[in-house]
Amino acid sequence: MKKIIALALALMLALACIGFTTAEDKKAVKLGVILLHDEDSTYDLNFLNAVNEARDALGIEVVVKKNINESNACYEAACELAEDGCNIIFADSFGHEKYMLEAAEEYPNVEFCHATGVMAHTEDLPNFHNAFAAIYEGRYLAGVAAGLKLEELKAEGKLKGEVPLMGYVGAFTYAEVVSGYTSFYLGAKSVCEDVIMKVQFTGSWYDEKEEKAAAEALIAAGCDLISQHADSMGAPTACENAGIPNVSYNGSTVESCPNTFIVSSRINWEPYFEYIVNCVANGEPIDTDWTGTIADGSVMLSEINETAAAKGTVEKVAEIKAQFENGELHVFDTAREGFITVGGMQLDSYMANVDDDPEYAKDTEAISEGYFHESEYRSAPYFDIQIDGIQLLNAKF
Amino acid sequence: MEATKDRVKEPLMWITKRDGMNPVFIWLIRVLAFVCGMLACGLIAFALIEQLRDEPSRITEFYKCFIDGVVKNDDMKWTFAKDVAILLCISVALTPAFRMRFWNTGAEGQTLVGVLAAVGVNFYLGEPYARSHVADARLLAPMLVAALLAGALWALIPALFKAKWNTNETLFTLMMNYVAIHLVSFCLAEWVPNGSNTISINDDMPTLFNGLAAVAKKNHKYSNYLTIILTVLAVTVLIYIYIKYTKHGYELNVVGESLRTAQYVGIKVKKVIIRTMLLSGMLCGLAGFLIGGVLDCTVNTESVGGQGFTGIMVAWLASFNPLIMILTSAIITFLNHGASQISTAFDISGALPNVMIGVVLFFVIGSEFFINYKLNFRKHAREVRA
């Protein structure tokens, strides 16, 4: 008898729920966020700011867990958030992925979103998603600004050497950074044909001393302009001290470097948060791999500092940006004669390592329709080709 | 002469060593200190947390966070017990060395090389690291052995130097921590050539005692935690017995109490130092195995997360008694969990939880001063002057 009553009650409750959800077509969203560090890290701060913007814009509830190591602690944090009633859980660091996957298997009704990860497209778990942004488009635009500056220096006869030379301070020698500096170089090359570039790696995402030293070494080696893919103020400071033009990353450095800062690109994660929240609220599926673009505001360019930039930079950058937005232009344009060459040969085919496996097997043909399809087969970058015109001074894995 | 004009001046306040205090009273002081620490925490919270200043009534929520950190749901309870166990394991590992007055500050490094060794064995002998891994329970034994040996080796080096050349063990063991951290960075760079510095082994967690999974009922993750908890409890009791009732234990206590006595009664001090440090390091290695082989299944420089240092405090607060360490490690873990709950509930800076923990510990450690020493004040200070 008790069982029947219980069943009846459960049924009534279920019906009531259905009635309720149809009456209210938008589901309340509670977003749980797992960060590797806290607001003291520029990387995590960038996510935190985006989360707060999305929270204010959409009026959702947000729970943030800071300083979660890439270990079982991430799994525990994800479970705690799920138990806490979060229906989306987001983690920001590459090493969180395995633990997010584990939690995703356990909580099939909660959406798990992971930035910079690579496993979603092979794991085939409906509630696990990867995301990244086409930051290479932003770097290309920054490269255009750099190229124009070099052209100006060339015209004024202020180049240090025969040909325009750029220096680049990178963190590690892997796809994310290679894709970044190559797109920056290509942007510069698109307006300054004979430019060459030297790259120095520091082996750390944040090491002010090392980055500054690397930038100083590049300046001493005759570079006319410096850019970087690392998180500290090291390289911009070195440039300001030496009076060398600088293209920075992850936010404008114009305040500390008013005379040398040209422009900076960064990923803005706010559109992604807004996207996943809306998906869940409307009961729509979230993309397995989501790649933010310039068009949707995920890739941002800071304001151009006209004190340091060449004349006409603002107009030129706006023009190229419009070409990206309507899909006319591709960064890794292999059809353009002499634009991307390897060992003097035009690049026309490349097997990329898209499915991240232990043997680093090359599994996917990335070049078709005249360009390298970066971030299309998965959201995280996989362009890792050493092209002509770029010289690596060292390697740091 | 000036001094002869006045009587010898009695200082306003002086301290004397206190002995034989009633244990009940001692614990009363400690509890009082803890309560004061928590109250001070609340005051600091008012000063630093904006949300609390706007709504002072949320202070109850603030204190409730500490309870929530432990008992909010089943997951949290298990996580709490597991975290206590890991910290306890490291603290217990330090105990034999500390009893011998060998100040082993290298538990962090000894544990970390244990993690590294366990993961390393899996990396070289097991399935490739990525997603295709199989739960390879056969590797658990070699992983355990490797972790124990690595921990022991890391402790043996400073012990040998101490025994042979009487080098300062505090600094030596401390420096070995940094060597261990850089060794981990180096191995990660070697093992993971894609530069992500992320290595992972078995996806399906190996279960040491499958029978225990049934006891833990719910699902496999609890059996893992249970494995850790039971292992550490057993180790704690064994070390208690070792220190209290065995000849080895007696010897290391004598060496700690008085080196001269030890030499006089014919204890081979060098041998005791080396043997005890091997044990200490091996137990750290065991903690490393529990972290690397059973829990995280990965290694990074943050794998031990400072617990090697926290363990020193846990051991100290328990006066090097392994059984009392169960309580002290529980208190420290309670504070850790509570503080991180506060950080989530009140949306504050990631550094604030550590401030809270620091404040409470300041009171608790400070109270030890009043337990060991007595404050004496000059009596009738005014009358003397008159």
Residues of chain B contacting A37 with CB distance shorter than 8 Å: 350
Residues of chain A contacting B218 with CB distance shorter than 8 Å: none
How far apart CA A301 and CA A309 sit, in angstroms, is: 14
pLDDT score recorded for residue B208: 39
pLDDT score recorded for residue A267: 93
CATH among 3.40.50.1100, 3.40.720.10, 3.40.50.720, 3.40.50.2300 for A25-134+269-292:
3.40.50.2300
pLDDT score recorded for residue A52: 95
SS3 A215: helix
How far apart CA B329 and CA B285 sit, in angstroms, is: 19
Output the CA angle B300-B305-B311, nearest 5 degrees: 135
Q: At what angle do helices B107-125 and B74-99 cross, to 10 degrees?
A: 120
Between strands A196-201 and A390-392, the pairing is: parallel
How far apart CA B35 and CA B41 sit, in angstroms, is: 10
Residues of chain B contacting A35 with CB distance shorter than 8 Å: 350
pLDDT score recorded for residue B297: 77
**Residue A156, pLDDT above cutoff 70:** yes
Across chain A, the runs of DSSP E, i.e. the strands, are: 30-34, 61-65, 88-91, 111-115, 128-133, 165-170, 196-201, 225-229, 246-249, 261-267, 289-292, 299-301, 341-342, 345-346, 351-352, 364-365, 367-368, 371-372, 390-392
Identify the helix (H) or strand (E) that includes residue B266: none
C-alpha pair distances (Å), A307 with each of A152, A155, A224, A238, A312:
13, 17, 17, 18, 12
- What are the boundaries of each domain within chain A? 25-134+269-292, 136-266+302-392
- Residue A71 to residue B302, Cβ atoms within 8 A: yes
- Residue A94 to residue B198, Cβ atoms within 8 A: yes
SS3 A397: coil
Q: At what angle do helices B220-245 and B247-257 cross, to 10 degrees?
A: 70
For residue B247 the two structure tokens come to: 């000849």
Fold agreement between A25-134+269-292 and A136-266+302-392 = yes
* Cβ atoms B230, B213 nearer than 8 A: no
Output the CA angle B169-B174-B175, nearest 5 degrees: 105
Residues of chain B contacting A117 with CB distance shorter than 8 Å: none
How far apart CA B67 and CA B288 sit, in angstroms, is: 29
* Cβ atoms A212, A168 nearer than 8 A: no
Residues of chain B contacting A63 with CB distance shorter than 8 Å: 344
SS3 B58: helix
pLDDT score recorded for residue B57: 87
Which fold is adopted by the domain A136-266+302-392?
Rossmann fold (3.40.50)
| Single-letter amino acid, residue A89 | I
For an interface test with A, give the residue of B131, B294, B297 to mutate (most A CBs within 10 A).
B131
For residue A28 the two structure tokens come to: 């309340």
In terms of pLDDT, which residue wins out, B203 or A192? A192
Beta bridge partners of A346: A341
Distance from CA of A172 to the nearest CA of B (A): 7
In terms of pLDDT, which residue wins out, A8 or B141? B141
Show the DSSP H helices in A59-91 as ranges.
72-83
- Residue A71 to residue B73, Cβ atoms within 8 A: no
- Closest residue on chain B to A357 (Cα): B130
Given a cut of 50, the residues of chain B with pLDDT beneath it are 1-3, 128-135, 201-218, 386
SS3 A161: coil
- The mean per-residue pLDDT over the stretch A16-21 comes to 46
* Cβ atoms A149, A227 nearer than 8 A: no
How far apart CA A324 and CA A315 sit, in angstroms, is: 15
Choose the most confident range, by mean pLDDT, from A359-373, A379-393, B103-117.
B103-117
Residues of chain B contacting A174 with CB distance shorter than 8 Å: 194-196
Query: Any idea of the CA torsion for B337, B343, B345, B347, to the nearest 10 degrees?
Result: -170
pLDDT in tens, B309-322: 999 999 998 989 99
Q: How many Cβ atoms sit within 10 Å of the Cβ of residue A347?
A: 17
How far apart CA B27 and CA A348 sit, in angstroms, is: 77
Distance from CA of B175 to the nearest CA of A (A): 22
Name the nearest CA neighbour of A380 among A355, A350, A348: A355
How far apart CA B119 and CA B171 sit, in angstroms, is: 28
pLDDT score recorded for residue A251: 79
Contacts 24+ apart (CB under 8 A), B165-172: B169/B102, B169/B103, B169/B104, B170/B103, B170/B105, B172/B106
Q: What is the ipTM of this complex?
A: 0.82
DSSP, residue by residue, A307-370: TTSPTTHHHHHHHHHHHHHTT---SSBSSSTTTSEETTEEP---EE--S--TT----EE-EETT
Q: Give the pLDDT band (50/70/90) at residue A81.
A: very high
Q: Give the pLDDT band (50/70/90) at residue A76.
A: very high
How far apart CA A288 and CA A266 sit, in angstroms, is: 23
pLDDT score recorded for residue A176: 87
How far apart CA A9 and CA B250 sit, in angstroms, is: 67
Which fold is adopted by the domain B75-347?
ABC transporter involved in vitamin B12 uptake, BtuC (1.10.3470)
How far apart CA B67 and CA B157 sit, in angstroms, is: 42
- Residue A119 to residue B131, Cβ atoms within 8 A: yes
Worst-scoring range by mean pLDDT, A74-78, A111-115, A266-270, B128-132? B128-132
* Cβ atoms B386, B22 nearer than 8 A: no
- Residue B302 to residue A122, Cβ atoms within 8 A: no
pLDDT in tens, A164-191: 999 999 988 888 899 999 999 999 999 9
Distance from CA of B336 to the nearest CA of A (A): 12
**Residue A380, pLDDT above cutoff 70:** yes
pLDDT score recorded for residue A6: 59
CB contact set of B50 (below 8 Å; sequence gap of 6+): none
Q: At what angle do helices B322-345 and B307-317 cross, to 10 degrees?
A: 130
Question: Whole-model pTM?
Answer: 0.83
How far apart CA B281 and CA B300 sit, in angstroms, is: 20
SS3 B375: strand
pLDDT score recorded for residue B18: 82
CB contact set of A239 (below 8 Å; sequence gap of 6+): A215, A219, A226, A245, A246, A257, A260
SS3 A125: coil
Output the CA angle A95-A97-A100, nearest 5 degrees: 130
pLDDT in tens, A89-136: 999 998 899 889 989 988 999 999 999 988 898 888 999 999 999 999
* Cβ atoms B343, A66 nearer than 8 A: yes
Residues of chain A contacting B343 with CB distance shorter than 8 Å: 65-66
| Single-letter amino acid, residue A194 | D
pLDDT in tens, A194-206: 999 999 998 888 8
Mean pLDDT score of chain A, rounded to an integer?
Answer: 89
For tokens 């709504």, the residue is B55
How far apart CA B58 and CA B111 sit, in angstroms, is: 40
* Cβ atoms A106, A79 nearer than 8 A: yes
Show the DSSP H helices in chain B as ranges.
23-48, 50-54, 59-71, 74-99, 107-125, 140-165, 169-191, 210-216, 220-245, 247-257, 259-264, 269-289, 307-317, 322-345, 352-372, 381-385
* Cβ atoms B63, B37 nearer than 8 A: no
Distance from CA of A101 to the nearest CA of B (A): 10
- What are the boundaries of each domain within chain B? 16-49+351-386, 75-347
For an interface test with A, give the residue of B71, B124, B194, B356 to mutate (most A CBs within 10 A).
B194
